[in-house]
Structure 1
Amino acid sequence: MLAQPDRLRRKRDFALLSQKGRVVYAQEFTLRFRPSETTKIGFVASTKVFKRANKRNRVKRRMRAALRDLQTNWPEKLDLMFMIKANVLDVDFAVLKQSILHAFEKIPAALALPPTPRKNIKAKRKTSVVYKKDV
């Protein structure tokens, strides 16, 4: 399990990553990230993709285990949000770790690009947090 200081836990942090984070795509997940003071990691396994709670928990445990093995390769001073896709349960564990490493290698190039906000954020939803534009 990831140590508590290494986890993203607040709704505001996830919303900020969705709106102001940069993105790297992989076959098993979408990685959103933004610079921060320390490295923190969070996971999103939606009920739309994984209907049952035991599957949502299983994919998050699987991702945490892979990241624990790769802890020496974590990018420094970034908040990371893994948006997990449906095929992560079918993929071999070694392939999953290789995919995470490949996504980490793409991060420096993606940092040069402007932030990519999610397109389907609904401002009227109770769960979404809307921030004022930076002036």
Structure 2
Amino acid sequence: MALSKPNRLKHRKDFSRVYQHGLRRNSPNLTLRALHGSKFFAKKSLPEGFSDLEPQVPSQIGISISLKVSKRAVVRNRIKRQIRAALRQLLPRLTAGWKLVIIVRPQAVECDYFQFLQELEQLLLDAEVLNGN
């Protein structure tokens, strides 16, 4: 099951902007690139005095996994499914307005869901993207 549409980072230019300007946090199996959306992403222009009424843009997430991780699409897709499942569990705790790219490293082939969940949570805490706790 995929992430909901508002939470997907889809366009190449958005991925590129996060890669170029975002902060980086590393773990043994994953790398997180994070960029707060208010810095580089265009907002709809509102009349003066209405900026407080602007709705919060939900955080958007993209997953990048290369052929270096595995030549087999079945393995790469399994890893993406596990990461998306872990992200769905963490999604309610994410601060709004962030653009995130999760990059999978080749060592991740041997990981299971709980290890991905633990590493993602730690990466998001280090980047100060998670609310509370």
TM-score, length basis structure 2: 0.74
Return structure 1 stretches of 4+ with deviation > 3 angstroms. none
Letter in 2 for 1:71: L
- From 51, 55, 68, the equivalent of 2:88 is 68
Identity %: 30
Contact 1:73 1:101 in 2 (8 A): no
Alpha-carbon displacement from aligned partner over 1:79-120 (angstroms, at most 9, x marks no partner): 0000011222312322221111111110139xxxxxxxxxxx
Aligned residue in 2 for 1:120: none
Deviates more, 1:46-55 or 1:8-17: 46-55
> Can you give the 5+ residue segments of structure 2 that lack an aligned partner in the other structure?
38-56
SS of the residue aligned with 1:70?
Answer: helix
TM-score, length basis structure 1: 0.73
Please state how far the C-alpha of 1:72 moved relative to its aligned partner: 2.1
- From 106, 109, 122, the equivalent of 1:102 is 122
Q: Distance in 2 between matches of 1:42 and 1:48?
A: 18
- From 109, 116, 127, the equivalent of 1:89 is 109
> Can you give the 5+ residue segments of structure 1 that lack an aligned partner in the other structure?
110-135
Contact 1:35 1:78 in 2 (8 A): yes
Contact 1:45 1:85 in 2 (8 A): yes
SS of the residue aligned with 1:83?
Answer: strand
State the Cα RMSD in Å: 1.7
- From 59, 73, 83, the equivalent of 2:79 is 59
Aligned residue in 2 for 1:20: 21
Q: Distance in 2 between matches of 1:73 and 1:27?
A: 23
Alpha-carbon displacement from aligned partner over 1:3-30 (angstroms, at most 9, x marks no partner): 1111011111111111111101111110
